[in-house]
Structure 1
Amino acid sequence: MPQHRVDPAITAVQLRALHEHGFVLLPGVLAPPQVAELREAIDRLQAQHWDYSGLLDQYKCVFNRDPLWLPYLDPPGVIELAEAALGSDCHVIGQTAWRCHPGFVGAELHLDYLVMPLPSSLLADPAFELPMQICTAHLYLDDVDADLCPTLVVPGSHRAGRAPRAGERSWQGRPAQPVLCQAGDVLMFRSELWHAGSRNRSNDRCRYLLQVHYGRRMVAQKFSPYLAWRFNPAVLAACTPRQRRLLGEHQEAEYD
């Protein structure tokens, strides 16, 4: 993937959006040839271990299957934002490929990870900036319209301090809203944000998605099958220094 300098001022604006809204959409991160490459690569994947297929095909830790996936761990614009949000020593805790077929039913509103409950008075204080521990990047490989299972997000809900309750569709009067976007766009959101995958209401289209989870240095990496995990030597040989760090080659620190 060609590298280019990312304007720090743009990253700063995006970081502010993560703090204020809990998510930000990065337009045009991937070029059309990259979108095509990823769609074709997803079509070639075979289920392993905890992967599954059906109305939803989900393939975990795809970075370890072929060096093709490595550049999508740190796309320009995405990695700068991840490092700004989580520290220059952040790493990847997962990379999952998805294919959602017609009839896919989606999921209820949820959050991915809440570090700890905090007093509502503190979360409501605009002077308090809630630190981020985990962020997820959705690399969209389709033009996502209202029928093609758009991601739903509830702006500001990362400051709710709790998970949504059953049937809850809004927070402080802010309803869940669909993220309508173009192939090659990337949605970055923090783990406390209320979000959901919606239904695929199309008749003949699959939604293709590549998902990358980033965590702070002290957040454990989620590489299943865990005790049986082994890095692919061909993948490691193809890594850049930053990609090796993202996969866990850190400098010595506390608890190492």
Structure 2
Amino acid sequence: MEAHALLSLGLSALHRDGFLLLPGVLEPGQVEQLKAAISALTPQHWDYNGLLEHYKCVFNRDPLWLAYLDLPGVIELAEAALGEDCHIIGQTAWRSHPGYQGMALHLDYLAMELPEAWLADADFELPMQICTVQFYLDDIDSELCPTQVLPGSHRAGRRPVAGEQQWQGQATQSILCRAGDALMFRSELWHGGSDNRSVDRTRSMLQVHYGRRMIAQKFSPYLHWQFNPAVLAAATPRQRRLLGEHAEAEYD
């Protein structure tokens, strides 16, 4: 299938279901490179470790991470969904160890609440503001923290209430996939993380968050933020734009 047709199918899935599983985005060597890089990270600023390890803004630590900002087959879909002038608003690494308890169903960002009746209209297409891509670095089965998604819930026009597990009769689904696969979802989608019920396996994952040009880049530690000169020197023009080097616009 031609690239244009694949892109159209991907956009249709994001508008219809709110998410899309992209198989085989990473090569085995890239999977191993990322797993090794994540295992070598140490906490900075708001990072933390324990049963869950969470590392923010990893793109600024080493040029190694730059290649995962604009992977072929992913960046084209992000730009089609959010505009050719989109940028990243984060790149986060995770490790979930045995015994980790997952996150409840939630959404990441809702630009505004809208009446569900409007969103139910087949002719109404809700623009995307932020999309996240999760790169899985392990084979994900039912015991190893599968991501939970609720198809179509981006059209609810609101956040889920505590304990809510269904929307319009639709129940959550577990994303079972292979190392190297990626899940892309829009920020209004209800989703969550399940427990690590394995005995001795750790789930490693890299996230990249893409936003429209006018979605602010809020890199912690904020007022004290500085780009790593080695990262900027190694970045391609597209990667520099993703990091925030935009052409002049109305509010610049």
> In structure 1, what is the equivalent of residue 101 of structure 2?
105
Within the candidate set 164, 170, 173, 2:166 is matched to 170
Within the candidate set 207, 227, 236, 2:232 is matched to 236
Distance 2:121 2:42 in 1: 48
Determine if the alignment matches structure 1 residue 80 to structure 2 residue 70: no
> In structure 1, what is the equivalent of residue 90 of structure 2?
94
Alignment of 1:87-236 (within 5 A): 87-236=83-232
Structure 2 gaps, min length 5: none
Aligned amino acid, residue 22 of structure 1 = G
> In structure 1, what is the equivalent of residue 63 of structure 2?
67
- The superposition leaves residues 73-104 of structure 1 with CA deviations (integer Å, 9 ceiling, x where unpaired) of 11111100000000000000000000000000
Secondary structure at 2:25's aligned position in 1? Answer: coil
Aligned amino acid, residue 53 of structure 1 = N
Distance 2:170 2:218 in 1: 32
Distance 2:117 2:152 in 1: 15
Aligned amino acid, residue 116 of structure 2 = S
> In structure 2, what is the equivalent of residue 3 of structure 1?
none
Deviation at 1:222, TM superposition (A): 2.2
- The superposition leaves residues 124-159 of structure 1 with CA deviations (integer Å, 9 ceiling, x where unpaired) of 101000000000000000000000000000000000
Normalising to structure 1: TM-score of the pair? 0.97
Secondary structure at 2:90's aligned position in 1? Answer: strand
> In structure 2, what is the equivalent of residue 53 of structure 1?
49
Determine if the alignment matches structure 1 residue 43 to structure 2 residue 39: yes
Deviation at 1:120, TM superposition (A): 1.8
User: How many residues end up aligned between the 2 structures?
Assistant: 251
Deviation at 1:108, TM superposition (A): 0.5
Secondary structure at 2:92's aligned position in 1? Answer: strand
Distance 1:166 1:47 in 2: 30
Deviation at 1:121, TM superposition (A): 1.7
Structure 1 gaps, min length 5: 1-5
Normalising to structure 2: TM-score of the pair? 0.99
Within the candidate set 237, 242, 246, 1:246 is matched to 242
Distance 2:218 2:21 in 1: 25
Secondary structure at 1:237's aligned position in 2? Answer: helix
Aligned amino acid, residue 145 of structure 2 = C
Distance 2:180 2:194 in 1: 19
